[in-house]
Structure 1
Amino acid sequence: MNPFELIPTPDPIPAPGMMFRVLLDIFFMIHILLVNMMVGTGVIALISGLKKRDALPLQKDVARKLPVIVALAVNMGVAPLLVIQLLYGQFIYVSSTLMAVFWILAVGLLILAYTNIYYHKMRFDILSTGFRRFFLGSAVLMLLIIGFTLSNNMTLMLNPASWPSYFDRPDGFLLNLKDRTLFPRYLHFMIASIAIGGLFIAIVWTFKKKTGRTEDGPSTVDQNIRLGMGWFTGATLAQILVGFWFQMSLPEEILNLFMGSSLLHTAVFIFGIGLVIQTVYYGITVNVRAAAVSVTLLIADMILIRDLVRTAYLNPYFTIRDLTVIQQTGPMLMFWVVLATVLTLIFYLLRRLTSAKKSAPPPKG
């Protein structure tokens, strides 16, 4: 069957496509940073609790912050999802339908994971060690499953040639397991989560050290900074291997774009390699601030590469230039006003939360 026959006609958009493409990358970067913090800190706190007897201050600190991070990650995920539906709706709606059962289950898993994370925070002091591990571990497991579901959907939407598999499995249980890029892509995101989670832990405890909030003892603060940077550096080094696997799994015609056949693709890729080397160096030398700046630039570069790869995958079927633009000034003006209002409110709430924590007296005991 010709895959072109399975691709729906795209809807018109209310403004130039390139504007939404830039917004997609910006929104996705904010979202993925929060997701990485969410998954990474959960994994690190869980493993540290299994390996170290003195990990309680770290676990408690992560337990306090996780509910807020999850809420922000979910809410900031709405914007990129809406924009990708606007630009690539004819692809993502089909892929979501093909794996409809898993896609809907992801929502339920997210609700259950958040419930466990919130309960883990509220009952942390009275839960036994075993129950703490259960609630945090089950939440982390569900988040990892959700990530695998998302990776399936994002790869399935890029490959209309695999859509005829629906006629063999029209029950909504279709997964994109035959795609060579699925597993390295998924691991690339999950290992990145551990790296960013480790860096976030190092940033938090560095802030505690600078503001004098060392109620857990100076040695504990320094230990958690080193622990966070250790996870960050190790995961970043692992990313080099997984990233190479991911790169080699790409179709040859797309891989060649980054190997010299396209100046833009190759330049972005080489710039990323330089940032990886720089980031690893800052991780090894435990330079928290420089590592944070470097990895932020690296993530921005990786998101641009992701955008270029998506464009190359869909190029035989569609380009954003193909979309019909029907200018709608009123709705777009409302969009910008609402966006500015929401971002202002989020910034205000985060400032209030931070100032409240600064003014609160250190916990006793």
Structure 2
Amino acid sequence: MIPSSLIPAIHNIAVSPIWLETFLIITFAIHLMLMNIAVGGTVIVAWHSLSGGSNISRDLSGKLPTILALVINAGVPPLLFVKAIYAQFNYTSSVLMAVYWLAAIIALLVGYYGLYWHYYRYESLKDGGRKGLIFMVLCILLYVGFMFSNNMTLMLRPDHWIEYFDNPHGFILNLNDAAFFPRYLHFMVASLAVGGLFVAVLGKMKSDQDYIETGFKWFVRATVLNITVGLAFMISLPRDLMLMFMGKNMIATSLFGVAIVGSVCLIYLGIKHKVVLASIITVVLVYVMVIMRHLLRDAYLAPYFKHEDLINTSQYSSLYLFLISIVIGLIAIIYMLKLMYKSGRS
């Protein structure tokens, strides 16, 4: 069977694709940074729980529920933009893995409640209970990330969709893709680095050297490891896509060079405990990585889809409504965080 025959028909979009791509990159980078803090922070709390906990893990556990709430809310816009641009691919992959995909939503709600339970029952829970609860939440977050990675890679492989005829019940995963596991590990190891950096930022705000030293230990070690994992991910890509980052496409190659140099700089800044500069470069590198990811996705789909194929109906009122909603939403979130900080619950 020809894979392209399984792809649903092209759809209409309300505005020029460049707007959707731009907002996809901006919003996904924000979601990714918050997700990294949530996952990395949970790993740090779980690790500290093995030795009975610490002031850092106690403090961090109180921030994780709020961070996870922000992760969930910040994840909605990029997911909608993905569906707006790549509807015929992403909706299909969601249906093919429907059982796992819907289970991820339920699991995320359980994990969210688990973080609240862990924080508010921190003192009353027995040591074994705290450990069991935080590790359960960690497993849930890893599962959710695993399923998101499956969905976002399965949509890129229409040649794998023919599995539906042997497995039509929503249990298809993208595990036979050589690049899947390195890609997933690349995201998860990055979470350890960003989670550590978040602890260091907290230390900077508190003028607490213990926070800074602990945070940068996680940050430096995870960054070193992630360079290796990232290179493994690059090598696992199909040859023509890998070469795109090695001279075949100058934009992609330049971004890859920036990512390598930036990662080395981050290791140096982490060793020197430069919190502010490390934070700024990390944000820049996250955006570089997100753009590289976007280029890679388009390269995967190039045999089946081009953005110029989308039918633009030029109905910009929906874009204006989105921008207004974003502004109002940001103001509301900042106001609520400010109230929470004043109440002493941050």
Fold similarity call, TM over 0.5: yes
Gaps of 5+ in 1: 210-220, 361-365
CA distance in 1 between partners of 2:83 and 2:327 (Å): 21
* 1:206 Cα offset (Å): 1.7
Q: Which residue of 1 aligns with 2:44?
A: 44
Q: How does 1:193-272 map to 2 (within 5 A)?
A: 193-209=191-207, 221-272=208-259
The letter of the residue matching 2:144 is: I
Residue 8, structure 1, aligned to residue 18, structure 2: no
Equivalent-residue separation in structure 1 for 2:167 and 2:58 (angstroms): 45
DSSP-derived class of the 1:286 partner: coil
Deviations 1:125-183 (A, max 9, x none): 21111111111110111110111111111110011111101111111111111001110
Structure 2 Cα separation of the partners of residues 150 and 336 of structure 1? 26
How many angstroms does 1:348 deviate by? 2.0
What is the CA-CA distance between 1:72 and the residue it aligns to?
A: 0.5
Alpha-carbon distance in structure 1 between the residues aligned to 2:28 and 2:39: 16
2:165 counterpart residue number: 167
TM-score normalised to the size of structure 1? Answer: 0.92
> Equivalent residues in 2 for 1:313-328 (5 A)?
313-328=300-315
Which of 64, 69, 72 is 2:70 aligned to?
72
SS in 1 for 2:125: coil
Cα distance in structure 2, aligned partners of 1:157 and 1:188: 19
C-alpha separation in 1, matches of 2:272 and 2:324: 44
Correspondence for 1:28: 28
- Please name the residue that 1:302 is paired with: 289
* Cα deviation code 1:76-110 (max 9, x no counterpart): 10010111000001001011111111001001100
Residue type of the alignment partner of 2:8: P
| Residues 17-76 of structure 1 deviation map (CA, whole Å, 9 limit, x = unaligned) | 0111010010001101111000101101111221x35x4211211111011001000011
Q: Does 2:337 align with 1:350?
A: yes
SS in 1 for 2:10: coil
Letter in 1 for 2:274: N
The offset of 1:285, in angstroms, is: 1.2
Partners of 1:258 and 1:56 lie apart in 2 by 43
- Deviation string, structure 1 residues 187-231 (Cα, Å, up to 9, x no partner): 00100111100000111122111xxxxxxxxxxx32222111000
* Matched residue, 2:98: 100
For 1:179, the equivalent position in structure 2 comes to 177
Matches within 5 A, 1:268-283: 268-283=255-270
The worse-fitting range, judged by mean Cα deviation, of 333-342 and 36-45 is: 333-342
Structure 2 counterpart of 1:234, which letter?
Answer: R
Identity, % of aligned positions: 39
> 1:301, 1:322 → 2: CA distance?
26
Q: CA shift at 1:330, angstroms?
A: 2.6
Instruction: Provide structure 2 residue ranges, at least 5 long, that are not aligned to the other structure.
Output: none
Query: In 2, distance between residues paired with 1:329 and 1:313?
Result: 29
Aligned equivalent of 1:218: none
SS in 1 for 2:312: coil
Mapped to 1, the partners of 2:319 and 2:292 lie a distance apart of 28
TM-score normalised to structure 2 length: 0.97
Distance 2:317 2:219 in 1: 45
Which of 131, 153, 168 matches 1:133? 131
1:58 alignment counterpart: 56
User: Alpha-carbon deviation of 1:302?
Assistant: 0.6
SS of residue paired to 2:71 = helix
Q: CA deviation at 1:342?
A: 0.8
Find 1:121's aligned residue among 119, 122, 135.
119
Aligned equivalents of 1:330, 1:294: Cα separation in 2: 36
1:249-295 residue CA offsets vs partner (Å, 9 max, x unmatched): 11111111111111111111111111111111101111111111111
Cα distance in 2, alignment partners of residues 223 and 151 from structure 1: 35
Amino acid corresponding to residue 59 of structure 1 in structure 2: S
**Alignment-mate amino acid for residue 171 of structure 1:** H
CA positional deviation for 1:112: 0.7
The one-letter amino acid of 1:147's match is G
* Whole-Å separation in 1 of the counterparts to 2:214 and 2:267: 15
